[in-house]
Structure 1
Amino acid sequence: MNSNKTVLVLGANSDVAKEAILLYLEKGYHVIAASRSTAEIAAFMEARKVPGSRLTICYFDATAFDDHAKFYAALPAKPHIVVYAAGFQVTNEQALVDWEGSYRMMQVHYAGAVSIINLIIKDSDNDHLERIIGLSSLSGVRGRKSNFVYGSTKAAFTQYLAGLRQYLFARKVVVNVIVAGYIRSKMTAGLDLPESLLMEPSFIARAIVNAGSSFTIVPGIKWKFIHQVLKYLPEKLAARLP
């Protein structure tokens, strides 16, 4: 059991994050679920009959950078594990003409993550931080014409985590990135995605909660193959991808 350990989940109202919270609670962790949508998280947990003794729900806005220090200082406990799962997406066509949509993706996926995680890792009073996990995307592996604005924000996040892993190596803090493919979630609802490639949020959540020592974790056999193809496909062929 992990009754003395705390997990901080940032962006806790995502479908994947909520499933991960349930799994962490099952394993005996205390969980701080941080999100703008606190009422939705509370309703979800009530529907799942989750006891509140080891769960704290608090407000967190990834884009409210000036509030991050106050948010972190007010936490009921310093985290052993941090999961960053905040997400926002507009279509590529919309992103090309709507700067606000593009900018919000940059803020949520990258700038917000850097802002809050930097605060966490520089907290000299927290000597029990042991792991940081970021939920990224295969969209950030290779630029593609159908989603390169969104993908660029995930690529930036992944590279930040890669450097963070090296920075924290001497402190023995493990950093993982979950490089996920298509997830059946509210963020992908309405998109025309292949049913055979859709993964359930609970499947991705298990990859988060059971993360080992490897940096890059790609859930799903099919997506492991696609990940390798995207990385090494010659540019002439990659240019033909949707």
Structure 2
Amino acid sequence: MSKTVLVLGANSDVAKEAILLYLEKGYHVIAASRSTSEIASFMDSRNAPPKQLTICYFDATAFEEHANFYNALPYKPHIVVYAAGFQVTNEQALVDWEGSYRMMQVHYAGAVSIINLIIKDKNNNHLERIIGLSSLSGVRGRKSNFVYGSTKAAFTQYLAGLRQYLFDRKVIVNVIVAGYIRSKMTAGLELRESLIMEPSFIARAIINARNGFTIVPGIKWKLIHQILKYMPEKIAAKLP
């Protein structure tokens, strides 16, 4: 039996590309999302091998259903990828609590809920890696997107502590700290074209994750990541 990858939030543009790469490597993939028909259509269009793929319904915000979802999985995962995402603009988030709250639920609370269940499963002794898709927006608070960024920052910190918690079990935890990605979530935003990365590029970073915790895909974004981390507050306050 091949190893199993559980992809949560499987309908994201990055997740779908990662699924294809995992399938190419011979993994069995459980693609979990609210948009099961969209995933099925996409995978069919890309001639994904059906025997290696299981598609099932998962709602990151339906916390009360997470235990039933996990217990019903046909195979328990060796690798878990959490890629669920949702975004509203910062201006909308400041006046629309439902939008803010949903970002918190999808990016943080939902991740904590399901991942906690996974790591506490005493019957799964082959769990080896957990990968979370976070964002450079969570590295430093900026006035243009601090509500969204705060949800990603919380997720990153959860993964950092989880990595320490699972160290003795030799379960590796990685966080993908990504910059601008060409995706459904960024469609319509005014972004510098030279900084936009393709979903397939981020997917390869997921597939090729090694032992280090923070993975920042792209040379330019590695530099931006370091600048943001160590930039003096007086300069950071002038950022958009």
TM-score bucket of the superposed structures, by smaller chain: over 0.9
TM-score (norm 2): 1.00
Identity %: 86
Q: Tell me the secondary structure at the aligned position of residue 175 of structure 1.
A: strand
Preserved CA contact (<8 Å) 2:23 2:49: no
State the partner residue of 1:50: 48
Matches of 2:71 and 2:49 in 1, distance apart?
25
SS at match of 1:145: coil
Counterpart residue number, 2:100? 102
Counterpart position of 1:207: 205
Looking at structure 2, the residues matched to 8 and 117 of structure 1 have their Cα atoms a distance apart, in angstroms, of 11
Corresponding residue for residue 238 of structure 2: 240
Paired position in structure 1 for 2:11: 13
Gaps of 5+ in 1: none
Deviation at 1:146, TM superposition (A): 0.2
Match of 2:59 among 44, 58, 61: 61
Match 1:41 to one of 8, 24, 39: 39
Partner of 1:138: 136
**Secondary structure, in 3 states, of the residue corresponding to 1:214?**
coil
How much does 1:210 deviate?
0.5
Corresponding residue for 1:180? 178
Name the residue aligned to 2:221.
223
User: Which structure 2 residues correspond to residues 86-165 of structure 1 after superposition, within 5 A?
Assistant: 86-165=84-163
Q: Counterparts of 1:192 and 1:107 in 2: how far apart (Å)?
A: 26
Q: CA deviation at 1:50?
A: 1.1
- Report the Cα distance in structure 2 between the residues aligned to 1:129 and 1:49, rounded to whole angstroms: 28
Distance 2:49 2:215 in 1: 31
Q: Deviations over 1:163-190 (max 9, x none)?
A: 0000000000000000000000011000
Runs of 4+ in 1 over 6 A off after TM superposition: none
Q: Distance in 2 between matches of 1:183 and 1:85?
A: 13
- 2:207 & 2:74 partners in 1: Cα distance? 22
CA distance in 1, matches of 2:238, 2:218: 24
Following superposition, the deviation at residue 51 of structure 1 comes to 1.8
**Alignment counterpart, residue 31 of structure 1, candidates 25, 29, 34:** 29
